[in-house]
Each structure stands twice: as C-alpha cells, then as structure tokens.
C-alpha cells in the first residue's frame, strides 16, 4: 500500500469554513488515515518482509518473538518518522485548522472541545474514539494494529503512540487517562480502566445531535424555550430566597429538602424559567447513582446547563428513609461542573460536611390554605358540580402540589372525554385517590360505600348527628382557616366518631353511608394484624396504620374496637403495664390524627373513659323497635325483586325481635329459597328464614306463636 492511495482532504475550500460536521469529519478521516498509515508502516511486528501467516496474537513464531525482544520501547509516531512525513502530517493538520478558524457553524464536535476544555492531544483522542462509531472500517484497523482481534475500540496506548508530541514521554501521557477530569469523564469508566477508549452514551448523543434528549430518569429543562407546567401558586417566599441564592458569582451547592412531591423540582424549574437558563434533572434512585450522576454532569457541561440531582435519600432494612451518606454527598458536591451552582434535592435534610458552600432550604408540606390555592389554580378553567367545592378537597386531601395538579388535570380530561361540561364530585374524588400511594391494603380491607341515607333506618336524632359529622369535613376549611380557629386549635383537628350499639344495628352500614356521602374511601382495619403478643409490636403496627392513613386520605374504620381501646387497669404485673402502654399510645395516635376515624363497639362500657373525651361524636345505635324493623324489611328488598302480596310485614316485625343485620340475613335467605322454587318471595319463604335465623341464636320458636302462619311451615316440611 502506498501513501498516494490514501484519501486526501479537500484543498479547494481552504478559504471557507466547514458548513456541517460531516464535512469536517471527512477531512478528519483523511487526517486520521494518514496517522494510521504511518503507524502501520513503521510498527510492523516482523518488519516489511512479514507475511503475517501466524495470525497476530494467536500464534507467536520464533521470528516474531526475536523481533519483539530486540525492538526498542514504544515511542510517539512522530519521533521515528522521516522529516518529509512529519511535514506531511503538519500540512494536513494545518489545512484542517485553517478551515476551522473560518468556521462559524455551531458544530457539536467543536462545542464539545470548548465546553470540556480539551487540549490538542485530548481532542485527537476524542476524534479517534468517535471515528470508530462513524466508520466501521476502523474496528478492523484498530484490532490489527493492537494485535487483538477482540479489541475493536482504540486503546489508550495506541492513542498516545499516534498523537504523542515530540519531546514528551509515553508515561506522562498514559497517566493522563487515570485522572478524573472533563476529558476522562467523556469515556466509559469501566472500559477506560481496561485501557479502551469508548465514549459515553451522552457524549456520543451530543456529538451526533448537538444536544441531549430526555430519557428515563434524566431530563433537560430549557427555561428559555418552555415554561414550567403550571404557575408557582404557593411557596413564594422559598422562590424569593432561591433567587437570592442563585444570584452572585460564588460557587454554591443549594440543598432543598421537603416531602416527596412538595415542589422542590418545581421550584428549580421556575428558577430556570425566570433566568432563562437550562438545567439537567437526574434521578439518582438506585445503586448505580454514581454513574447516573456523572452522566448527568457530563450532559450539563455539554449543554451549558445547571445540574439538579434528586431522590438522594436511601431506605434502610425496614423501608424507612435515611439521609444520604457522607460519601455520596461528597461525591455529588465534587462533580466537575462548568456552572457555579448545583442543586441537591432530598426529603430529609443533608447533614454531610462538604468543602463547597452548601445552603439548606426546607420546603415544608403545604398548608391547607396553600392546598386550596392550588386546587383553585388548577381548576380555574373547570366547573365543579354543586356538591363539591375546592375548600372541601383541600381539607380532605393532604396532597403535595404535584398530586393536586395531576388529580385536577386528570379530572378535567376525563370529564371532557365523557362529553361533560362539569366535573362531578365522584370524578374528582376518584382522580384524587389515584394519586394516593399507601399500603393500607396490607393492613386492612377496602369497604365499598354502597349505601345512602335512604337505606338507613334509625331514629332521626342519630341520623342528624351523623350528618353533622359529615359537615365537620365539608366545612373544615371555613371553620379552621376562614374563621381563624386554626390559631386556637392546632392539635387534634381530626374527626373521630364512635358508633356504639348491639350487633346488627347498622354500625358498619352507617360507616359506609358516611364514606359515600363524603366520597371518601374507607378501610376496615384488621385487628388481628394489629394486636401482637410481643412487647412493642402493637404500637409499631398502630404507627404504620396511622402513617399510611395520613398518605391515603381515607377513613379508618375499627370494628370491635374494644379489643384495642379497652379500659386501662391497675398495674399488677408487666402484662398490665404493657397493655396500658398500648392504650395510652393509641390515645395519642387518635388525637394526633388529622383525618377521619370511625370506631364501632358492641360494648361501650368496655371503652376507656379517656377515649370518650377524644371522640368528636358518640352515636348510640338503639335496638330497632317493630316499626323500624318493618322499614328495614321493606328497604332491604330491591325494587326489581318479585314479591308476593301475602307477606305480613307487621307480623314479621313484631314477632321476631331481631336487629337489622339478622333481618338482612332473613330477606336474603328467603330470596334464595324463592329463586330455587322459581316463584316470588312470599310469606312462607321469609317465615322459614326467620325461624332458621332464630335457631342460629339458640331461640326456639313454638308453633303456636306463629298463629295463622304456622301451617306455612307445615307445608315446607311436607
């Protein structure tokens, strides 16, 4: 092969700059090919007479062994070249440099050189590593020159031999690849440790497109090109402080902490929008956080953006959040960045000590007033049904700004898809609950709210008391915020209701009615999963229940609560002491809980007196009298069910003194008997079901007591 057969650079356009990157790369390919040709010519393993029959690297012949043994140590390419060849290399390089000086087009390769501060040797290494991605012929050339058929990426020693300046040592330039700087961070660290120069994916993307696109876990926000999603309706003081921290030439590490979804990233986006700057946001959740952070820092440097890293908190063995370790914070604070501000976002405060000036800024959970502002802001273009208000939503859902925005946008979109002009209360609640993330399903069961006030049969006084309890949630914002009661009562603002009554009197049903009325989900807590024989476990389980309930914005329903809320007794042994501690802890949790908690008991006398003071409402469920029992019979049977006219409702209500739960069983059993016979529900079916229900409770019904209906049971037996 002769030098004249190599491709040449275009000398006809020396007076013009490069119009695009591909035009530049064509000349750089010619420049690189000349280097590789001279290296090939001067560094053959067996000299010019070698026919390479031994397949380099696989078999070592005697001649090759002797040649390599006698060969001097490797030096730079230019050192061993004749003068005319060195001049040829200089001419080609000067021709490229001449056109580059006249280039005004924003070529990604030139921007990378500038933003990473690369010298001539480092630039040549990047060109070498990039060339193999653009032209596959270089894979085979590098494999041949490096005597390794699997080594298709250029190695650091090959780069040093090709581009080592005259008078410099190989060792000094090889050691440059072990440094941590803007040059070495362009390459994959694990491959660089092996001696191979493989550009990072981010660097390749920038060289190909001139920017970095969003990907899972990393986005580029351009404050000059787009605005944040939604206005900054709350946390104005935090925004003003951020502006003060952002101004000035000092290098600062701005650490924002606060609850998840509390607006930390949103604040940084608005800061970038106000200053028309770019920012790379990177999610560091996971074990590979260091690699993700370095890729994000590279993306920020290449695009001239600031860097914002979030999800720095970690979880311990029990799943609880812990603050980032000292080593992690030091690593993130030590990332080499071109911009003098970096942002670290976490839920817990960063307690690490770092050399960079670090400023902590806490974004507390939004208040109810701020939640109201957010609901009004994101629903300003929507119309709500009359049965729901933004004030009620703000009181019910202790959401972050992100959750409020998502719920409102989703509700508006679903309403328009359905062709509706208004958002119903059921729809906005449904969208809100989709934003709630909790684990109550493992601690209890979701109870469907299937009943309404029309299904409730009880004295009007008790029904009105329950309706007033619902108003406690509906008008919470007006009383606490608008009327200023929050300044007087800052503790124990939740709603606690005690339902007391005999089994079957409708306690669970009324809890469902209240959940339906408030459009809230209700979870029935499984007492068996809460109470533990081990010391301290019951308290831990209770803490989990109330912590999850805080995130879920649901109604907590404790049935048979006297198992948990029993009276405290005189301490005679350690068991009494531990039981009293459990009750005292539960008292504390009930009082601190800001949500809705409904407790049901069959034995109100067993409830500790301290609980009665903490109950907002105590509703006693009386045993139904005959008129009430007749209403229960009639309302339990659906309108679509076939009913015979021979049913004596008055007789059934007076004869069988049963609560509503038993009546439901009677009606259902009678319906199945009628369905089996293919006939309407009749007096015979209900009478037989009632007698069977009494037997379940060890009550024998004498035939004479059934009077004229006794023969109906005889027909059944026959």
Question: Which CATH number does the domain housing residue 343 bear?
Answer: 3.40.50
Residues 200, 283 within the same domain: no
Domain-located, residue 637: yes
Residues 171, 27 within the same domain: yes
Tell me: the pLDDT tens digits for 381-393?
888 888 788 888 8
For 25-34, 49-58, 612-621, 676-685, which range has the lowest pLDDT when averaged over its residues? 49-58
Residues 403, 511 within the same domain: no
Residues 256, 402 within the same domain: no
| Residue 115 lies in domain | 3-209
DSSP string over 177-195: GGS-STTGGGB-HHHHHTT
Residues 355, 419 within the same domain: no
Model pTM score: 0.74
pLDDT, position 312? 93
The whole-number average pLDDT for the span 481-506 is 82
For 172-181, 213-222, 491-500, which range has the lowest pLDDT when averaged over its residues? 491-500
Band of the pLDDT at 208, cuts 50, 70, 90? Answer: very high
For 24-28, 64-68, 88-92, 338-342, which range has the lowest pLDDT when averaged over its residues? 64-68
Backbone angles phi, psi at 339, to 5 degrees: -85, 150
Band of the pLDDT at 449, cuts 50, 70, 90? Answer: confident
Q: Domain ends where: 306, 338, 362?
A: 362
Q: Domain ends where: 346, 362, 378?
A: 362
CA dihedral 324→328→334→339, nearest 10 degrees, is: -50
Rounded CA-CA distance 386/650 in Å is: 41
Using the predicted structure, report yes or no on whether residue 447 has a pLDDT greater than 80. Answer: yes
Nearest partner of 386 among 431, 420, 423, 430, judged by Cα: 423
pLDDT, position 574? 44
Rounded CA-CA distance 595/525 in Å is: 15
Domain-located, residue 328: yes
Domain-located, residue 292: yes
CATH value at residue 395: 1.10.8.60
Residues 426, 499 within the same domain: no
Rounded CA-CA distance 201/188 in Å is: 8
* Burial class for 347, CB neighbours closer than 10 Å (0-12, 13-18, 19+): middle
Tell me: the pLDDT tens digits for 618-640?
999 999 999 999 999 898 898 88
Nearest partner of 122 among 49, 173, 80, 83, judged by Cα: 173
Residues 537, 664 within the same domain: no
Domain-located, residue 191: yes
* Residue length of the chain: 718
For 189-198, 404-413, 463-472, 575-584, which range has the lowest pLDDT when averaged over its residues? 575-584
Using the predicted structure, report yes or no on whether residue 540 has a pLDDT greater than 90. Answer: no
CATH value at residue 588: 3.40.50.300
For 271-280, 554-563, 564-573, 689-698, which range has the lowest pLDDT when averaged over its residues? 564-573
Band of the pLDDT at 56, cuts 50, 70, 90? Answer: very low
Sign of CA dihedral 565, 569, 574, 577: positive
Tell me: the pLDDT tens digits for 2-30?
555 677 777 778 888 998 999 999 999 99
Rounded CA-CA distance 290/335 in Å is: 10
The terminus-to-terminus CA distance of the chain in angstroms comes to: 113
3-state secondary structure 210-271: CCCCCECCEEEEECCCCCCCCCCCCCHHHHHHHHHHHCCCCCEEEEEECCCCCCHHHHHHHH
Residues 529, 579 within the same domain: yes
Residues 538, 429 within the same domain: no
pLDDT, position 64? 61
Rounded CA-CA distance 718/159 in Å is: 104
Rounded CA-CA distance 686/668 in Å is: 9
Sign of CA dihedral 608, 611, 613, 619: negative
pLDDT, position 451? 86
Which H helix or E strand runs over 348?
Answer: none
Q: Which residues on adjacent β-strands are paired with residue 220?
A: 280
Structural domains of the chain, count: 5
Q: Domain ends where: 339, 362, 385?
A: 362
| Token pair recorded at residue 666 | 């009677």
For 186-200, 288-302, 316-330, 505-519, which range has the lowest pLDDT when averaged over its residues? 316-330
Query: Which segments of 311-371 are extended strands (E)?
Result: 314-315, 321-322, 341-346, 357-362
Rounded CA-CA distance 176/131 in Å is: 21
Using the predicted structure, report yes or no on whether residue 248 has a pLDDT greater than 90. Answer: no
pLDDT, position 388? 86
Q: How far is CA 530 from CA 210, 239, 497, 522, 586, in A?
A: 58, 43, 20, 17, 11
Rounded CA-CA distance 166/121 in Å is: 12
Domain-located, residue 448: no
Neighbours of 272 (CB within 10 A): 24
Between residues 662 and 13, the one the model is more confident about? 662
pLDDT, position 701? 76
Residues 502, 603 within the same domain: yes
Band of the pLDDT at 203, cuts 50, 70, 90? Answer: very high
Domain-located, residue 442: no
Domain-located, residue 445: no
Band of the pLDDT at 160, cuts 50, 70, 90? Answer: very high
Nearest partner of 712 among 651, 653, 662, judged by Cα: 651
Residues 147, 46 within the same domain: yes
- Report which listed range, 546-555, 569-578, 580-589, is most confident: 546-555
| Cβ atoms of residues 200 and 298 within 8 Å | yes
3-state secondary structure 133-177: HHCCHHHHHHHHHCCCCCCCCCEHHHHHHHHCCCCCCHHHHHHHH
The whole-number average pLDDT for the span 58-68 is 59
DSSP string over 86-129: HHHHHHHHHHHHHHHHT--S--HHHHHHHHHT--HHHHHHHHHH
Neighbours of 228 (CB within 10 A): 18
* Burial class for 152, CB neighbours closer than 10 Å (0-12, 13-18, 19+): middle
Using the predicted structure, report yes or no on whether residue 85 has a pLDDT greater than 70. Answer: yes
Domain-located, residue 443: no
Nearest partner of 384 among 430, 415, 425, 433, judged by Cα: 425
Band of the pLDDT at 718, cuts 50, 70, 90? Answer: very low
What percentage of the chain carries pLDDT values higher than 90?
33
Q: How far is CA 230 from CA 227, 246, 270, 428, in A?
A: 8, 22, 10, 19
Rounded CA-CA distance 170/259 in Å is: 53
Residues 200, 106 within the same domain: yes
Tell me: the pLDDT tens digits for 416-438?
999 988 999 889 999 998 888 67
pLDDT, position 607? 72
């Amino acid at each position: 092969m002769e030098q004249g057969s190599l491709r040449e650079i275009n000398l006809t356009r020396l007076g013009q700059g490069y119009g695009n990157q591909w035009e530049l790369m064509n000349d750089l390919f010619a420049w690189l090919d000349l280097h590789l040709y001279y290296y090939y010519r001067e560094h053959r393993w067996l000299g010019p007479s070698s026919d390479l029959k031994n397949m380099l690297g696989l078999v070592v012949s005697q001649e090759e062994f002797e040649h390599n043994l006698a060969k001097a140590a490797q030096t730079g390419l230019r050192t061993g070249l004749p003068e005319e060849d060195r001049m040829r290399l200089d001419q080609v390089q000067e021709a490229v440099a001449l056109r580059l000086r006249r280039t005004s087009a924003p070529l990604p390769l030139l921007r990378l050189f500038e933003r990473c501060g690369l010298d001539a040797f480092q630039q040549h290494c990047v060109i070498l590593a990039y060339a193999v991605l653009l032209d596959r012929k270089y894979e085979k050339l590098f494999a041949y020159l490096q005597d390794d058929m699997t080594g298709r990426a250029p190695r650091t020693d090959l780069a040093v031999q090709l581009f080592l300046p005259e008078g410099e040592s190989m060792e000094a330039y090889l050691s440059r690849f072990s440094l941590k700087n803007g040059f070495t961070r362009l390459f994959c660290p694990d491959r660089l440790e092996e001696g191979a120069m493989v550009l990072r994916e981010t660097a390749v993307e920038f060289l190909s497109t001139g920017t970095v696109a969003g990907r899972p876990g990393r986005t580029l926000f351009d404050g000059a090109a787009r605005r944040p999603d939604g206005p900054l309706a709350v946390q104005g003081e935090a925004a003003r402080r951020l502006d003060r921290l952002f101004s000035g030439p000092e290098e600062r590490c701005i650490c924002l902490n606060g609850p998840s979804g509390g607006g930390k990233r949103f604040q940084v986006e608005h800061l970038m929008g106000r200053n028309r700057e770019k920012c790379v946001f990177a999610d560091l959740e996971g074990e590979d956080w260091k690699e993700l952070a370095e890729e994000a820092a590279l993306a920020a440097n290449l695009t001239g953006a600031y860097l914002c890293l979030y999800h720095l908190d970690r979880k311990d063995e029990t799943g609880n959040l812990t603050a980032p370790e000292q080593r992690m914070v030091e690593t993130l604070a030590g990332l080499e960045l071109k911009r003098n501000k970096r942002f670290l976002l976490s839920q817990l405060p960063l307690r690490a000590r770092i050399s960079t000036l670090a400023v902590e800024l806490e974004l507390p959970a939004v208040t109810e007033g701020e939640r109201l502002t957010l609901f009004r802001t994101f629903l300003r273009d929507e119309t709500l049904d009359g049965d729901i208000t933004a004030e009620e939503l703000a009181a019910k859902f202790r959401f972050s700004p992100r959750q409020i925005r998502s719920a409102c946008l989703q509700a508006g979109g679903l309403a328009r898809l359905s062709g509706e002009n208004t958002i119903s209360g059921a729809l906005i609640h449904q969208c809100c609950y989709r934003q709630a993330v909790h684990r109550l399903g493992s601690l209890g069961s979701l109870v469907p709210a299937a009943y309404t006030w029309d299904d409730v049969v009880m004295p009007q006084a008790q029904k009105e008391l329950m309706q007033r309890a619902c108003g406690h949630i509906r008008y919470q914002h007006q009383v606490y915020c608008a009327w200023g009661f929050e300044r007087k009562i800052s503790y124990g603002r939740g709603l606690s209701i005690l339902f007391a009554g005999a089994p079957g009197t409708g306690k669970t049903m009324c809890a469902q009615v209240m959940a339906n009325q408030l459009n809230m989900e209700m979870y029935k807590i499984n007492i068996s999963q809460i109470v533990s024989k081990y010391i301290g476990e019951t308290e831990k389980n209770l803490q989990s229940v109330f912590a999850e309930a805080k995130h879920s914005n649901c109604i907590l329903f404790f049935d048979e609560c006297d198992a948990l809320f029993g009276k405290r007794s005189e301490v005679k042994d350690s068991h009494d002491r531990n039981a009293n501690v459990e009750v005292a802890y539960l008292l504390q949790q009930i009082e601190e809980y800001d949500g809705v908690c409904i407790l049901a008991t069959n034995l109100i006398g067993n409830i500790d007196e301290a609980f009665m003071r903490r109950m907002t409402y105590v509703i006693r469920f009386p045993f139904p009298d005959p008129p009430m029992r007749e209403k229960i019979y009639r309302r339990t049977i659906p309108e679509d069910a076939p009913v015979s006219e021979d049913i004596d409702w008055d007789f059934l209500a007076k004869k069988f003194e049963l609560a509503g739960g038993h009546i439901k069983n009677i009606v259902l059993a009678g319906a199945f008997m009628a369905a089996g016979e293919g006939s309407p529900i009749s007096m015979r079916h209900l009478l037989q079901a009632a007698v069977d229900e009494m037997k379940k409770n060890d009550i024998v019904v004498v035939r004479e007591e059934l009077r004229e209906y006794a023969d109906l049971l005889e027909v059944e037996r026959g």
